[in-house]
Amino acid sequence: MGEMGRRSGSRSLLVAGAGLPGLTLAVALKRAHGPALDLAVCDPGLPAGAARHRGRAYAVAAGPRRMLERLGLWEAIAPVAEPMRRLVISDSRVGDPVRPVFLTFGHDADATPDGEPFAHMVEAEPMAAALFEAARAAGVRLVSQGVRAAVPEAGGIRAAFGDGTSEKVSLVVAADGARSALREAAGIGWVGWSYPQSGIVATVRHERDHEGRAFEHFLPSGPFAILPLKAGGDLGHRSSIVWTERSADVPALLGGDEAETLAEIERRFGAELGRIALEHGPSAHPLAFGIARSFRAPRLALLGDAAHVIHPVAGQGLNLGLAGAAALAEAVTEALRLGLDPGTDDVLKAYERARRFDTVAMAAATDGLNRLFSNDSLPLRLTRDFGLGLVDRLPGLKDFFIGQAAGRRAQGPRLLRGEAL
């Protein structure tokens, strides 16, 4: 890569990590500033492109969906996005013959004000492909090198790459994952712990149409979610499952042949969608909680999993990352349009103020939900089932939770409201 002195200064930015939040930030900034801003996304895994996201799917809430639409990305994603029109929540044990439904959120009765679904299920691979294509078209430099260090110096920060070269830029965005080396090198503390659980993800085909319904079955070992995916031609009706299980039990549950694994899934899946078959997976991933003590250091901003990792119980991990991208893009844009350096403390403080409270609140909520539901305590079961039923019977409270899930806020980053930077 070599020394990039001609690109250094107050209009250059580097994103370390080509995950979905980092790519979204890059596209947003290049669309807003064009050639006036030099921007690179650096990741040693870039040669794999979108393929490394295969097998994952995300619930994209209405706010981030509006951002993707404003950036001109949703047109490419929409054909593979399935509207989530109803969410059904039940609480039971694996062997229970009946799964009582305690709470439903539905598009028909509880739509957002403009009638849109509160979320769309999107498979990660086509979403990443759309982001890569948009980044290339906007002029983002895609660099197949990892950033091994970022050291502030006069007027900027020097990023050192795996091949021994370096580049001076105004701001480095650490979007390099939960085990962020840049976060650790900057001395930013991390509050977190591992759950005694793993998240098992798989894609299944099923006999009957899901009709845009999502199911969240709370079981003693953790939630079992069935999330609607776009029908896949000859593949027929499809859903993604996110199955939280005790880590100690995962080898026994997934260690057999495909028929045995499918039988374990069927026990939790239920019969409502008919017969099922595996399309992709399953794969298990240890679950953890973590949040950075600060989202910034001198000329360094944390984004996505480098800043926060939450339990998947509410499906909000990616939405938090995309909201962070929207807030950081807004803070950087405001500085650039005033002719200011986007890497200064004032800019990074504005970004942190915009995201800190919401992030901590969502992290605490998902941790609390997991602890409340991932057990078989009778008193807790009675309490939580009463609470779910109460929410179901109170339209105002129910509407509040729908608004939170959909990212419906009068305030917040402009992109999440569907407005231009």
CATH of the domain at 412: 3.50.50.60
Residue at 250 is within a domain: no
Residues forming beta bridges with residue 101, ordered by sequence position: 90
Q: In the 3-class helix/strand/coil scheme, how is the chain assigned residue by residue?
A: CCCCHHHCCCCEEEEECCCHHHHHHHHHHHHHHHHHCEEEEECCCHHHHHHHHCCCEEEEEHHHHHHHHHCCCHHHHHHHEEEECEEEEEECCCCCCCCCEEEEEECCCCCCCCCCCCEEEEEHHHHHHHHHHHHHHHCCEEECCCEEEEEEECCEEEEEECCCCEEEECEEEECCCCCCHHHHHCCCCEEEEEEEEEEEEEEEEECCCCCCEEEEEEECCEEEEEEEECCCHHHCEEEEEEEEEEHHHHHHHHCCCHHHHHHHHHHHHCCCCCCEEEEEEEEEEEEEEEEECCCEECCEEECHHHCEECCHHHCCHHHHHHHHHHHHHHHHHHHHHCCCCCCCHHHHHHHHHHHHHHHHHHHHHHHHHHHHHCCCCHHHHHHHHHHHHHHHHCHHHHHHHHHHHHCCCCCCCHHHHCCCC
pLDDT at 398 over 80: no
Residue at 275 is within a domain: no
Model pLDDT, residue 410: 56
pLDDT at 38 over 70: yes
Question: pLDDT class for 99, splitting at 50, 70, 90?
Answer: confident
Question: pLDDT class for 305, splitting at 50, 70, 90?
Answer: very high
**Percent of the chain beyond pLDDT 90?**
67
Helix axes 62-70, 317-337, angle to 10 degrees: 40
pLDDT at 235 over 70: no
Question: pLDDT class for 73, splitting at 50, 70, 90?
Answer: very high
Residue at 236 is within a domain: no
Please give the residue range of the domain that contains residue 14.
Answer: 5-192+289-417
Residue at 221 is within a domain: no
As a whole number of angstroms, the distance between CA 373 and CA 375 comes to 6
Residue type for position 319: N
Q: Which stretch of 182-186, 227-231, 322-326, 409-413 has the lowest confidence by average pLDDT?
A: 409-413
The better pLDDT of the pair 190, 372 is held by: 190
The token duo for 156 is 């900027």
Residue at 206 is within a domain: no
Buried b (16+ CB within 10 A) or exposed e, 301-324: bbbbbbbbbbbbbbbbbbbbbbbb
Model pLDDT, residue 17: 97
Model pLDDT, residue 274: 93
pLDDT at 259 over 70: yes
pLDDT at 242 over 80: yes
Model pLDDT, residue 222: 87
Q: Are 213 and 88 in contact (CB under 8 A)?
A: yes
Q: Are 213 and 183 in contact (CB under 8 A)?
A: no
Model pLDDT, residue 52: 87
User: In the chain, how many domains are there?
Assistant: 1
The token duo for 110 is 């509880």
Residue at 215 is within a domain: no
Q: What are phi and psi of 282, to 5 degrees?
A: -85, 160
Residue at 240 is within a domain: no
pLDDT at 333 over 90: yes
Residue at 87 is within a domain: yes
